[in-house]
Amino acid sequence: MDHRLEKILHEFAKGTGRLTVLTGAGISAESNIPTFRGPEGYWTIGSKEYQPQEMATYQMFAQKPDEVWRWYLYRLGVCKRALPNPGHHALVEMEALFKNRFTLITQNVDNLHIRAGNSLDRTFQIHGNVFFMRCIKECRRNVFPVPEALTGKEKNDPLTGQDRQWLLCPDCGNRTRPHVLWFDEIYNEHYYRYHSALKVARETELLMVVGTSGATNLPNQVVWEVKQRNGIIMDINIEKNPFSHAALSSEQGFFIQQPGGKALPDMVRCFKTAGS
Ligand code: APR
Distance 76 CA to ligand 1 centre (A): 18
Give the active site residue among 10, 88, 113, 127: 127
Distance 111 CA to ligand 1 centre (A): 15
Cα separation, 87 vs 179, whole angstroms: 25
Where in the sequence is the domain holding 232, given as residue range(s)? 3-32+84-128+188-272
Distance 67 CA to ligand 1 centre (A): 24
**Of the candidates 222, 231, 239, the residue with the CA atom closest to the CA atom of residue 187:** 222
User: Catalytic annotation on 127?
Assistant: yes
At residue 226, the pLDDT reads 97
Cα separation, 51 vs 234, whole angstroms: 30
> What does pTM read for this prediction?
0.96
Cα separation, 129 vs 118, whole angstroms: 14
Q: Quick: pLDDT tens for 146-201.
A: 999 999 888 888 999 999 999 999 999 999 999 999 999 999 999 999 999 999 99
* In a shared domain, residues 28 and 46: no
Given a contact cutoff of 8 angstroms between Cβ atoms, the answer to whether 265 and 1 are in contact is no
User: Is it the case that residue 40 has pLDDT exceeding 70?
Assistant: no
Q: Quick: pLDDT tens for 53-73.
A: 899 999 999 999 999 999 999
CB of 178 sitting under 6 A from ligand 1:
no
Q: Quick: pLDDT tens for 222-257.
A: 999 999 999 999 999 999 999 999 999 998 999 999
Residue 38: pLDDT band with limits 50, 70, 90: low
Long-range residue pairs from 171-174, CB within 8 A, at least 24 positions apart, any chain: 171/135, 171/139, 171/140, 171/142, 172/135, 172/137, 172/139, 172/140, 174/135, 174/136, 174/137, 174/139
* In a shared domain, residues 264 and 210: yes
- Sheet of 128-135: strands edge to edge? 143-145, 128-135, 176-180
C-alpha distances (whole Å) from 60 to each of 68, 177, 262 are 7, 12, 38
pLDDT above 70 covers a percentage of the chain that reads 97
Encoded amino acid at 69, one letter? W
Work out which ligand 1 atom sits closest to the CA atom of 30: 7
Task: Return the number of other C-beta atoms located less than 10 Å from residue 180's C-beta.
Answer: 20
CATH for 115: 3.40.50.1220
CATH for 44: 3.30.1600.10
At residue 240, the pLDDT reads 97
* In a shared domain, residues 246 and 195: yes
Distance 41 CA to ligand 1 centre (A): 12
- Count of domains in the chain? 2
User: Is it the case that residue 46 has pLDDT exceeding 80?
Assistant: no
Work out which ligand 1 atom sits closest to the CA atom of 24: 26
CB of 25 sitting under 6 A from ligand 1:
yes
Residue 130: pLDDT band with limits 50, 70, 90: very high
